[in-house]
Amino acid sequence: MFRRSLAGALAAGMAAAALLTGCGGGGDDATDGPVTLKVLTWEPGGTEYWKQVKTSFEAGHPNIKLEMQSVPFDKYPEVQGPYITSQSGPDVMANNAGLELFDRRGAYVPLGDKAAEITKDLVTYSGACEGFDTSKTCYGVPFSYQGNVLYYNKAVLTAAGLDPEKPPATWDEFGAACDAVKKAGKTCLALGLSGTFPAYWDFPEIARNYLTEDDIRALLAGKLSWKDPKLVAVLEKLAEITTKGWANKNAPSITMLPDGADIFQRGDAAFAGTIISDAVNWEAFGKALGDDKLGVTRWPAIDPAAPLAQKFSGIEGAVYGVTQWSQKKQAGLEFITWLAGKENGELWVKYGKGQPLNKNVDKALLPSSPAFLKIQELVAQPTLHAGVMLSGPEADALARGWQQVTLGQLTVDKWAEQMQQALERSPTKKQTK
């Protein structure tokens, strides 16, 4: 509280100076002419796509101009954080669906009953809503779909004496395939354990074998203990990936992007678990390896009979919402409504090279790559994505623990203990309890 009063005093003291130097910003809602909407984004889908967004939107909305504030993804929190605490800044902002968005929900205007209307053509938008429940408060709209599949290099599989049309479907088959690939002198699974990639890319694929959707919601609410046998089993299997030597040796000290993905791109690895939309997907790998050499499969099932084992851990991509402090909420709402629409869905497919959420996107625009078609098949049976349920401290502890387990510096039990401590440290999850 006293922090705020200090801020007030400071602001007051500086108001004169600001007036003199003419640097005081302010809402210009009242002025005539087009409204300028400031949009904070890390440009998911790339610069080209966002240029198209600006051009197309402005063409259809002559009364609104977009001013894109593009910030590199890995520096986004530093820029966004102060905006939120000071309740000032852009009119529209982005956050990843799931916990990242919920952590910052104080910044966004709830869509209320408008949500259903805005999102009527989207396959799903629950990641933008509290607890992944569309009947609860929703804070913005997504337009892309994201998740992890296992890409494989058919040439490497063939060289290892494996059938490139029948990739391993179970954990044991995967182990056998890895032994064969290693014998042929290649890395089996290209992996980088630095940063949050393990949490968002690998954890949900293992977790699907042990958790139900209710468990995943409990994970989100912080009600599922990391000492629960189910979660300990997930950690054990994650550990196996590296301790059994399936991954590259430097996995603990590299990031998945670009290092891990590059191992796969240069043909040195049989498998890589990466995403379906945006970069390092079927499109980039198809270009590097040849569309005919690139295979796609679901991560191998540990327990094929588990309820979610044959599903796709899907999550909406970036969610765009209107900020609480915006003076131009109406224009902001118009913009995010357009983002959810067909026109943007088609731009997303064409320039963002991703999976669209809008049902009405012209099917003729979709790529014909065999890998892409296979992905269409896999995403048809979605389930909740366990990775985005992890809080910042949990995602961090997952990566660090996995690195240490790989290097033999930590046991899985100790890892689970650290995960539990991270959960208890997480401000968000403490709050929901």
Binders of other proteins among residues 82 to 111 (CB under 8 A) are 82-86, 88-90, 102-107
Work out whether strand 35-41 and strand 92-96 pair parallel, antiparallel, or are unpaired.
parallel
Q: Within 10 A of 420 (CB to CB), how many other CB atoms are there?
A: 17
User: Which one among 52, 194, 313, 344 touches other proteins, defined by CB under 8 A?
Assistant: 194
> Does the protein bind other proteins through residue 6 (CB under 8 A)?
yes
> Does the protein bind other proteins through residue 187 (CB under 8 A)?
no
Peptide bond before residue 229 is cis, with ω within 30 degrees of 0: no
Only segment of 8-16, 125-133, 153-161, 330-338 that touches other proteins (CB under 8 A):
8-16
x/- mask, other proteins, residues 106-145, rule CB under 8 A, reads xx--------------------------------------
Please, what is the Cα angle at 313 between 312 and 317, to 5 degrees?
Answer: 115
Count residues near other proteins (CB under 8 A).
95
**Residue 23 burial (10 A CB sphere; 0-12, 13-18, 19+):** exposed
Minimum CB distance to other proteins, residue 209 (Å): 25
User: Which of 178/254 has CB closer to other proteins?
Assistant: 254
Site for other proteins in 10-69 (CB under 8 A): 10-11, 14-15, 17-18, 21, 23-25, 40-47, 67-69
Residue 324: how many CA atoms within 13 Å on its side-chain side? 12
User: Which of 258/304 has CB closer to other proteins?
Assistant: 258
Minimum CB distance to other proteins, residue 224 (Å): 19
List, in sequence order, every beta strand (DSSP E) within 276-371.
Answer: 294-297, 312-316, 318-322, 355-356
Residue with tokens 């959420």, as numbered in its chain: 357
Minimum CB distance to other proteins, residue 395 (Å): 8
User: Which of 312/415 has CB closer to other proteins?
Assistant: 415
* CB 127, CB 95: distance < 8 Å: no
Distances (CA, A) of 3 to 6, 8, 10, 12, 28: 5, 9, 11, 14, 29
Site for other proteins in 237-296 (CB under 8 A): 249-250, 252-255, 257-259, 261-262, 265-267, 275, 278-281, 284, 287-288
* CB 322, CB 339: distance < 8 Å: no
User: Which of 123/279 has CB closer to other proteins?
Assistant: 279
* CB 122, CB 319: distance < 8 Å: no
Contacts of 325 (CB under 8 A, 6+ apart): 87, 88, 89
* Gap between the Cα atoms of 256 and 191, Å rounded: 6
- Which amino acid does the sequence have at 357? L
Minimum CB distance to other proteins, residue 118 (Å): 24
User: Which of 102/174 has CB closer to other proteins?
Assistant: 102
Q: By C-alpha distance, which of 230, 199, 388 is closest to 306?
A: 230
User: Which of 119/403 has CB closer to other proteins?
Assistant: 403
> Does the protein bind other proteins through residue 425 (CB under 8 A)?
yes
- 342-351 vs 329-339: helix axis angle to the nearest 10? 60
Minimum CB distance to other proteins, residue 426 (Å): 7
Minimum CB distance to other proteins, residue 70 (Å): 5
Site for other proteins in 364-423 (CB under 8 A): 391-393, 395-396, 399-401, 403-404, 406-407, 409-410
> Does the protein bind other proteins through residue 1 (CB under 8 A)?
yes
Q: For residue 75, what are the β-bridge partners?
A: none
